[in-house]
A and B are shown apart, each in its own frame.
Chain A
Amino acid sequence: MATHDNTINHARSASIIRSIVKHNIFIPCAFLILLLLINIFINPGFLKVSMGTDSNGHPVLIGNLINILSNATELVILAIGMTLVTASSKGQDISVGATLAISGGVVMRVLCGNETQPSSLHAPIIVALLLGCLAGMACGAFNGILVSRFKIQPMIATLILFTAGRSIASMAMGGLKPKAVSSFGYYGNFIPGFPIPTPILITVLVIIITMLVLKFTNLGLYTRAVGVNAKASSLNGLNPSLIKFLTFVVLGLCVGIAGFVQSSRVQTVNPFTIVPSIEMDVILAVALGGNSLGGGKFNMTGSIIGAYTIQTLTSMLMTLNVNTNAVPVFKAAIIVILVVIQAPIVKAFFSALMADLKSKNNRGKGDDTYVVVE
């Protein structure tokens, strides 16, 4: 009798494990944890967070983990918007790097006017933030109209701003490369006296707002519906073009916020080199999060974890001092492994393998396991 109970418990815990393993954010989480473990193995002090003071004597938190959380801000915010765009339009926006340059450029122009080294800000920071977001949303709306009204494939539609965006940003800045006063740096660094980097707080705020919007509005449901089957959703009274358009505008808003944080980091923007090839990292974050790039269902938590995974990887290769020329190869090699493991064929192969092993085990153990099955 006792052995019977044990077997039931055993089976129960096995099913819990199975449900965890089957959960759609298990693989992204597992990768992130694995990367962190490798980092700890290489540098035992990796997770250490210490309290230091900056050159003005204000307390600040110092540590690799803090850096990763802080530097991932742009990637996380963009991945949130990109997840929605991917789900609704079955394609990706490859112009986010260029449009981020535009919104960052607008922020700088508003704050600095036509001066390269202004001694004070030309406009309140909130105005710069709003105009930056507006510029991002305008770019998003442009992409959105091309995709939803003119039915152009997202990658082709966004190729336009991908190509022209950085030059537009340069024009928006009047060809100057201004540097704003250091008080503008609070949003990309620290607010004096508060030890947690501001970008981390901004990320947390954006994530909370996203989760609330997804929980209490129909945006998430409608986006999924349009992505899964646009025709069926329009028969059910939804307007697929409008939903697609809206997701691009939301991504534009994300771009605006990310552009503001990025320009605040060093209080200057170089439109041609700001966030180099971030669009690929963002799309990768969405893919690593277990999302299908073919649209439909989406997993926001997965994308966010995917973004942190990529930042951890970037930071790891940087601190390991891998030869610069070899960095892209390392990154690519690790990403290939991550993506291949998540491919449906590989997943099916492993679950078949597991089932096979289990049946062999069961045959060896004898009859009592079959009792549980009944």
Chain B
Amino acid sequence: MKKVVSLVLALMLVFSLAACNGKDKAKKDDGKITVGVVQTNANESDWRTANTKSMNEAFAEAGFETKMVFGEGDHAKQIAQAQQLIQEEVDYLVILGLQSAGWEDVAKAAKDAGIPLIMADRKLDLTEDLYTAMVCSDFEAEGVKAVDWLKTQDMDEVNIVVLGGDTGSSAQLGRSKAIEDGAAANGWNIVFNQNMKGWDETLAKQAVADLIASGKEFNVIYAENDNMARGACDAMDAAGITYGKTGDVKVIAFDANKWALEKVLAGEFNLDIECNPLHGPRLVSLIQSLEKGEKIEKNVYVEEEMFDAETITQAIVDARSY
């Protein structure tokens, strides 16, 4: 008897699920484009907040329906979320991966389901046939900009502290590779090279405080985002080490948030390299071209500037929206 009841219940469950599925399809027919977005973390940094906002606003304006999910630091969760979005039959899948590796199955599933996959912000390790388009930052090129700038600085000896981001993210891999190659090519010393979990102030601050306490000499801080640069400056403040435009230690940061540009203007950071978060409008125009069946440029790297403490002006800081 029990068996029969459970069988009936199970069947009912299956049918109700099938019914749900049917409803979803019906909703899709109203002509609205649904974009599934797999975002990294909800409030990882000010940069990420601006990034999320840009996509939400641009998609809403273009009349798309947005389904945004957050991985919250969990790579496996992101992959599951992407699979879920494919099952829900979104029209476009935008992925901002926490890690660059391990996306092949998702890409294949999307391809089989006929859903165009767009990589944004961070490049994933996928072969050309597995994705439709890419709108990414070239992180290694950003790092190379910093290396080129450092070459122009007149320094007798260069001892670099590298504060890396989350191990394995494409931003960390690209930016670290640039400075490691640059140091090898120019005879600079890297006295410290560690990745800080979560791109966070606290760990960066503790690391630099530990370095100072063990008496390691350094004169360049290469922090792979603004927050870690701020943490490093806090540690140097506490030990009375001068930094920035007039100090002993040169501070290089990445992302160029508004508050960080204020620090560049104040001469606390020497250099900040932009990583443009405003992907929304670009993604909208890309999706609209795809809808019309126009030919698109497959691999686009976004334009990125750098801000030097010697040349930055108040106007540049004021113009920044995030």
A52 touches B214 (CB 8 A): no
Evaluate contact between A266 and B194: CB separation under 8 angstroms: no
Name the one of A56, A189, A266, A276 contacting B197, with C-beta atoms under 8 angstroms: A276
Could you tell me which residues of chain B, from 151 to 176, have a CB within 8 Å of some CB in chain A? 164, 167
Cβ < 8 Å to B, chain A residues 154-184: 166-167, 170, 173, 175-177, 179
Among A176, A179, A266, A327, residue most surrounded by chain B Cβ atoms (within 10 Å): A266
Q: Which of B191, B192, B239 contacts A54 (CB 8 A)?
A: B239
Roughly how many angstroms separate A170 CA and B70 CA in the complex, as a whole number?
A: 13
Give the chain B neighbours of A55 by CB distance below 8 A: 236-238, 240-242
With both beta carbons as reference points, the residue of chain A lying nearest to B201 in the complex is identified as: A266
In the complex the two chains form, is B167's CB within 8 Å of A272's CB?
A: no
With a CB–CB cut-off of 8 A, which chain B residues contact A43?
214
Selected interface stretch from A127-135, A218-226, A317-325 = A317-325
Alpha-carbon separation in the docked complex, A333 to B147 (Å): 37
Instruction: Give complex CA distance A190, B211 in Å.
Output: 19
**Interface pick from B19-27, B36-44, B118-126:** B36-44
**B45 CB-CB contact with A under 8 Å:** yes
19 A-B residue pairs with CB within 8 Å: A52-B240, A53-B240, A55-B242, A60-B239, A63-B213, A67-B206, A170-B43, A176-B43, A176-B49, A190-B238, A266-B201, A272-B41, A272-B43, A272-B198, A273-B73, A276-B197, A318-B206, A321-B192, A324-B193
Complex interface: chain B residues within 8 A of A179 (CB): 259
- Taken together as a complex, chains A and B put the C-alpha atoms of A274 and B205 apart, in Å, by 13
Asked whether any CB of chain A lies closer than 8 Å to the CB of B100, the reply is: no
A64-B210 contact in complex given A54-B238, A55-B242, A273-B197, C-beta closer than 8 Å: yes
A268 contacts the other chain (CB 8 A): yes
B209 contacts chain A at the CB level, 8 A cutoff: yes
Q: Does B200 contact A274, Cβ atoms closer than 8 Å? A: yes
A62 contacts the other chain (Cβ, under 8 Å)? Answer: yes
Top 6 A-B pairs ranked by shortest CB distance? A273-B198, A266-B201, A324-B195, A64-B213, A55-B237, A273-B200
Q: How far is the CA of A189 from the CA of B234 in the complex (A)?
A: 10
When distances are taken between beta carbons in the complex, the residues of chain B under 8 Å from A318 are 194, 206-207, 210
Instruction: Name the contact of B44 in the complex, choosing from A53, A262, A272 (C-beta under 8 A).
Output: A272
Q: Tell me, yes or no, whether B72 is within 8 Å of chain A by CB.
A: yes
Q: How far is the CA of A123 from the CA of B232 in the complex (A)?
A: 28
Q: A interface vs B, CB < 8 Å?
A: 43, 45-46, 52-57, 60, 62-64, 66-67, 71, 116-117, 166-167, 170, 173, 175-177, 179, 185, 189-190, 262, 265-266, 268, 270-274, 276, 315, 318-319, 321, 324-325, 327
Considering the complex, give the chain B residue whose CB is closest to the CB of A268: B201
Q: Give the one of B192, B193, B209, B211 with max A CB within 10 A.
A: B209
B106 / chain A contacts, CB cutoff of 8 Å: none
Contact of A274 among B46, B202, B214, B237 (CB under 8 A): B202
Within the complex, the shortest CB–CB distance from A307 to chain B, in Å, comes to 16
**A319 touches which of B41, B210, B230 (Cβ 8 Å):** B210
Q: How far is the CB of B127 from chain A (nearest CB, A)?
A: 25
* Given A54-B240, A265-B202, A321-B192: A66 and B210 interface contact (C-beta under 8 Å): no
A175 and B43 contact, CB distance less than 8 A:
yes
Quick one: which of B43, B201, B210, B230 contacts A315, CB cutoff 8 A?
A: B210
